[in-house]
Structure 1
């Protein structure tokens, strides 16, 4: 109950802050063509794919369909994702066959591709980006501001609502192990390493 309440408060607080307290929408092409902003926008997609690699398998065992929330998150980021995390019930089981989509998300190759893509995007931002311009756009533009905060939320929420620990248990890994904390405490690259190293889900009919 506390977990669910906490997630709903985070969800509501994020919406209220972005709508009423974040800087106004100040669309400038210079902001959005900055490699740092482009890379940050790409990181939203990376995070959604990271979550998808856990959520679609988890959704098989939930009463609520995962795909609807993930489609909503494509347009709204954490605003579409958090309700799924709040509504799902802890469950570390998986039954039935994996369809091609689940098999793809369950593959270590997917984690490797996401890791390589992340490194490319970060190097693009570091080498070619204007970081002072990004700080200025964060301070003056609602879209850049909200997107940046969403990236922080993606990282903070990944280990919180039992999604990660359930996925580990589903694969025969020990919940709350040292591996769990390495994945949880290293932003972005912890989850990416987990996708590259985790065993495949054993199918139970």
Structure 2
């Protein structure tokens, strides 16, 4: 089956699950949770829920460090999907993964934003933040309460599954990023793929800088469009 079709089916299937099969949606409870998160009233939130919410954000930042660079060489840009992902998580990301074409090059110069996303400093900050969140959630969280909320609350249920989908989908983009950097090490790839979250973060900390192509971005996109006709 065509891989793009698989991604579209996954996107549609996740939407169908959330709407038809997930636990009930409690609007007041969800709004209260979000209000407490954004107003820093964290003592009233189960640390597992708070950590999970934050780790979904970490996943978005991990993907951003690859896909804003990838989007430079695509006929579509990543930024609209990044904005959609802030509000919808993996549902905003999946359409980009389905629409993008494989590419293992980067052309032109990196601006300050891409330079930050490409830096090891970015990966180190995300890694340290993740370790703090994991320790906080595991050490202080109420697992019984989390399981009860997972089974009874659509927002918590969907957020938890989205976290898992971010992990499952990461191999669809990391291979191109490795090739873009001339880093085709199978053992490293397996470590990134099979170690949830921390493997991806280790990759951001250890990957070499981008190798820049001498061809222009517009020429690359135009040539690929012609070749795919």
Q: Does the alignment pair 1:103 with 2:95?
A: no
Q: Does the alignment pair 1:9 with 2:9?
A: yes
**Counterpart Cα distance in 2 of 1:95 and 1:80:** 26
**Counterpart Cα distance in 1 of 2:33 and 2:126:** 27
**Counterpart Cα distance in 1 of 2:88 and 2:208:** 31
Residues 26-78 of structure 1 show CA distances to partners (whole Å, capped at 9, x for unaligned) of 32758971110000000110000000010000000000011000110000000
- Match among 32, 45, 48 for residue 36 of structure 1: 48
Structure 2 residue aligned with 1:142: 154
**Counterpart Cα distance in 2 of 1:138 and 1:145:** 5
Q: Does the CA-based 8 Å contact 2:181-2:208 persist in structure 1? A: yes
Report 1:96-135 matches (<5 A).
Answer: 96-135=108-147
Q: Does the CA-based 8 Å contact 2:105-2:212 persist in structure 1? A: no
Q: Does the alignment pair 1:190 with 2:202?
A: no
**1:204 Cα shift?**
2.5
Residues 72-125 of structure 1 show CA distances to partners (whole Å, capped at 9, x for unaligned) of 000000000000000000000000000011000000011010000000001111
**Counterpart Cα distance in 2 of 1:142 and 1:63:** 35
**1:203 Cα shift?**
2.1
Q: Does the alignment pair 1:76 with 2:95?
A: no
CA RMSD between the two structures: 1.5
**Counterpart Cα distance in 2 of 1:110 and 1:167:** 16
Residues 109-149 of structure 1 show CA distances to partners (whole Å, capped at 9, x for unaligned) of 11010000000001111121111101100000000000000
Name structure 2 gaps, 5 residues minimum: 35-43, 215-229
Name structure 1 gaps, 5 residues minimum: none
Q: TM-score, normalised by structure 1?
A: 0.95
Report 1:19-34 matches (<5 A).
Answer: 19-26=19-26, 27=29, 33-34=45-46
How many residue pairs align between the two structures?
202
3-state SS, counterpart of residue 74 of structure 2: coil
Whose radius of gyration is greater, 1 or 2? 2
Structure 1 residue aligned with 2:182: 172
**Counterpart Cα distance in 1 of 2:78 and 2:115:** 16
Q: TM-score, normalised by structure 2?
A: 0.85
**Counterpart Cα distance in 2 of 1:30 and 1:93:** 42
**Counterpart Cα distance in 1 of 2:94 and 2:62:** 14
**Counterpart Cα distance in 1 of 2:199 and 2:6:** 23
**1:200 Cα shift?**
0.6
